Structure 1
Amino acid sequence: MTDNLVTLTLIVLCLCLEGLYSGGEIAYISSDIHRIRSKAQKGSRSAVRALKLLESPEWFLATTLTGTNLSIVTSTTLATALLITMLGTSRGEMTSLLIMVPTLLLMIVSRSLFQQHAETMAIRLAHFIWYSSFLLFPAVYLIAKLSRGTLKISTGETGRPYTYVTKKGLKYLLEKQGVNTDILRVEKDMVTNIIDFSDVTVGRIMVPLSKMISLPVTATLREAEKLAADKNYLRIPVYRDQIFNIIGILHYFDLSEILRTQGANTSNAEENETIECCVKPVVFYVPETKIAKDLLIELHVRGERMAVVVDEYGGAVGIVTMEDILEEIVGEIDDEYDSGEKMHKRIGPGKYLFNAKISIEKINQVIPLELPERDYETLGGFLLYHMGKIPKRKEALRYENTLFVIEDADAKSIKEVLIELSGDADRDVGS
């Protein structure tokens, strides 16, 4: 009985070591070296040791692999002997399951947990991995040498320190370590936009139908000319029957050419001629879920400047132009779909007036807030989500330590919002 208890204790110890080595491996692989370097510079001895391990990846990998395999072999051997003693040799299938299931489950759980807290666990395990490498030195040294030799033979390289930069790492460098550099805020924003660009969908950057000026196909040439002149639009979407059934684009230059050729001899019949004769059919429809960078390439290849965005049912939900896509990288570019409205301005210490159409992403950039992005994209959507109704003028919402006051609204939407920051959160708003 005592022997079985000792064996069981050793099995549990080996399983714990397996979890630490296996989880430690994924923690170091998933860690951001720049975050760990930042903590090391602040004086953390564990972070310094973790940094040394990260700069010698073949060393920590050899250590964790050796430790994991040694723990698994030892625990499996002990568990097999214990179960044979308890169950006999006739129940091999049950013995195999009782050994394999805990081993695999522990490995999966430890890797999953350690990956979610990679930097924290890498620092906490630094001393353990470091001393383990010396305890297992012969095997670790041999594996490290073999890996370097194999790398040199196959690629001609001798192995380099941890030099690659992840998206998360680059963002961290820009936000934290770039504070005391000569990099301008607009440059940081542009680099951040480029990093995020590969994940931006067309639905996020399109101009929705509710914000567009469009014409029915039954509109006359003169009506179209007046609208284009009043709104200063070069391209106007044209729909048939219902606005979500966009069939083409009316180009102002085509319209002007037709009206010019008609000249002063325009008859009453020609005055009432519809725009259908000069509408260019839409040849490019894209789904909301399409990645913006892919659309940018396709627009360039096709020689198009815009596309109609459709939902899963085939109905149009908006328009996306090449300018809309480029704005995701370089910031605002004025085109005919931009209203020219001032989206925000500072009106006093800690007080800012915002257009409710401003995006949550933009508002988080211009003032020190961290408003969450959920099923809405704009400040107006944020307020509708939290207030649960279309508010009236002077109604207010307090979110955390920030006060939102409705300055202008109508029966259908919020127009302007006054934001009052608390404490020392105030700072100048960029233009």
Structure 2
Amino acid sequence: MLTVLSDYLIYVVLIGIMIFFSFFFSGVETAVITASRIRLEHLAKTGNAAAGRALALLDDLDETVGMILIGNNVVNIAATSFITYLATTAFVMRETGLFVVTAVQTMVFLIACELTPKVISRAHAESFLMLSSYPVKLLLAVMKPAVKLSLLFSGFLKRMFNVTESSRAIVRSREEIDTMFKIGEEEGVIDREHHVYVSEILSFKDIIAREIMTPTIDIVSVELNKSIRELVDVFVATRFTRIPVYESRVDNILGYVFYRDILRRRSVKNIADIMNKAHYVPTTKRIAKLYTEMTENRIPLVFVVNEYGAVVGMVTHEDIAEEVVGEIQTRDQSGEGLITELGRNRYLLKGRLDIEYFMRRFKVQIEKKGFETLSGFVAYRMGKIPRTGDRFEYDKYTFIVEEATDRSIEKIILQKRKKRRRISGQP
């Protein structure tokens, strides 16, 4: 009796070992597909031996994948055989019982040996591959004959069906591109400015409407009850092709009017008769998705609303396009950038520059206290609407008010402070 139980216990242990190896092979399979060669090469250059072994596995990708597939199939078949043996001998199960065991086994293997290792490996591909590189290397040596045989057979099939493979290296993610530029910058091949430009393009998906919108205070709009003559005067004075229309308050925008609609319908009496309905989006709307929606629905502009439903800004189709293909920084209609470099570590900034963008661009941490723009931060910091020439220091920068009115701060000069040098002998 004890001998029989010990035999069954051995099979249970063997099943556990097979499940572990199935987990291992599935994780390695995902790691070799998703791991970034660029990151591994960078780590290998710093002397990381595990990264060097991982690169060797990627260099012999056919053999590595072949070993993984053979190993995974062997352990899965072995585990199935052991489970079936236990079900038919230890528990004397018939057809119905075997069906239940098979269903449970399939679910366990799917979750424990497929989904779980692949999710973990995809999230930490380089680390997983480096950690498993040594045992994979040993398994490759042990299974080399079987792997070589499988490669010969797969090569025969490729020739039979005329399958060709591209040897071109593929960059798979924005993170990998960013890593390439970081390494290039560290090695002096790429300058900082170009790296910043590429990073801005890569972060396109992360930009939200609030960061590129034209604030309400800068929007030229007309009230709904104005006459067509007054509306025409605004068009002539601004030379804009579209003018937003509000009712009662400037943050209650109902729609917008095209200048061409006035020309086409000269007999119109009221603005409401030619007004196009406004489209609203939240401040947190990602502009990548917004651009797609505006393009598909032919919407030229949208109005950004806060949590209370008040309009806080406007985004046009052109604003988003300029964010991608312009000079990286958002620009206003005069073409003057919100950020202008005056010299080494000295910049001229527009007051309406988004504070989130400012923090990312200049690597400054600011606790937001109800403001969304740089001018709001300056006013909060000084406790008033400052006058031209007022200044203060924050973090590693000096902020100087270059231009201000009674109501707002238009321009700020940002100057990076020089590090104070210690005099020899001072503590």
Given that 2:340 and 2:348 are in contact with CA atoms closer than 8 Å, whether structure 1 keeps it comes out as yes
In 2, distance between residues paired with 1:46 and 1:4? 39
- Alignment match of 1:321 (pick from 316, 325, 328): 316
The yes-or-no answer on 1:104 pairing with 2:110 is: yes
Helix, strand or coil at the partner of 1:291:
helix
Structure 1's unaligned 5+ residue stretches are 259-272, 384-389, 396-400, 425-431
Counterpart of 1:247? 255
AA aligned to 2:360 is N
- Alignment match of 1:126 (pick from 111, 133, 149): 133
The yes-or-no answer on 1:236 pairing with 2:231 is: no
Given that 1:55 and 1:162 are in contact with CA atoms closer than 8 Å, whether structure 2 keeps it comes out as no
The yes-or-no answer on 1:332 pairing with 2:311 is: no
Given that 1:404 and 1:418 are in contact with CA atoms closer than 8 Å, whether structure 2 keeps it comes out as no
AA aligned to 2:82 is L
The yes-or-no answer on 1:358 pairing with 2:354 is: yes
Counterpart of 1:144? 151
Structure 2's unaligned 5+ residue stretches are 385-393, 420-427
CA pair 414-190 structure 1, distance change in 2 beyond 3 A: same
AA aligned to 1:174 is F
Given that 1:36 and 1:51 are in contact with CA atoms closer than 8 Å, whether structure 2 keeps it comes out as yes
CA pair 326-251 structure 1, distance change in 2 beyond 3 A: same
CA pair 25-198 structure 1, distance change in 2 beyond 3 A: same
Instruction: Note the alpha carbon deviations across 1:361-398, whole angstroms, 9 max, x for none.
Output: 34322x2347799x9975689x8xxxxxx967459xxx
Deviation for aligned residue 1:89: 2.1
- 1:164-243 alignment to 2 at 5 Å? 164-197=171-204, 205-209=212-216, 211-220=218-227, 235-240=242-247, 243=251
- Alignment match of 2:81 (pick from 72, 77, 80): 77
In 1, distance between residues paired with 2:105 and 2:303? 55
CA pair 416-334 structure 1, distance change in 2 beyond 3 A: closer
Counterpart of 2:389? none
Given that 1:17 and 1:71 are in contact with CA atoms closer than 8 Å, whether structure 2 keeps it comes out as yes
Deviation for aligned residue 1:360: 1.7
Helix, strand or coil at the partner of 2:186:
coil
AA aligned to 2:111 is L
- Alignment match of 1:308 (pick from 297, 302, 307): 302
Counterpart of 1:262? none
In 2, distance between residues paired with 1:44 and 1:136? 26
In 2, distance between residues paired with 1:248 and 1:196? 31
Bigger RCO of structures 1 and 2 (CA < 8 A, at least 6 apart): 1
With 46-55 and 314-323 compared, the bigger mean Cα shift is at 314-323
Given that 1:239 and 1:246 are in contact with CA atoms closer than 8 Å, whether structure 2 keeps it comes out as yes
Given that 1:220 and 1:275 are in contact with CA atoms closer than 8 Å, whether structure 2 keeps it comes out as yes
Helix, strand or coil at the partner of 1:213:
coil
- Alignment match of 1:46 (pick from 39, 46, 50): 50
Q: CA RMSD in A?
A: 5.0
Identity %: 20
Counterpart of 1:386? none
Counterpart of 1:294? 292
In 1, distance between residues paired with 2:125 and 2:372? 31
Helix, strand or coil at the partner of 1:132:
helix
Helix, strand or coil at the partner of 1:336:
coil
Given that 1:215 and 1:238 are in contact with CA atoms closer than 8 Å, whether structure 2 keeps it comes out as yes
In 2, distance between residues paired with 1:192 and 1:149? 45
In 1, distance between residues paired with 2:303 and 2:209? 8
In 2, distance between residues paired with 1:103 and 1:420? 60
Deviation for aligned residue 1:180: 3.3
Instruction: Note the alpha carbon deviations across 1:109-147, whole angstroms, 9 max, x for none.
Output: 222112211110111111222221222223322333444
In 2, distance between residues paired with 1:372 and 1:28? 42
CA pair 326-241 structure 1, distance change in 2 beyond 3 A: same
- Count of residue pairs brought into register by the alignment: 388
With 87-96 and 35-44 compared, the bigger mean Cα shift is at 87-96
CA pair 162-2 structure 1, distance change in 2 beyond 3 A: farther
Deviation for aligned residue 1:318: 4.4
- Alignment match of 1:29 (pick from 30, 33, 43): 33
Helix, strand or coil at the partner of 2:220:
coil
Q: TM-score, normalised by structure 2?
A: 0.69
Given that 1:32 and 1:168 are in contact with CA atoms closer than 8 Å, whether structure 2 keeps it comes out as no
Deviation for aligned residue 1:97: 4.4
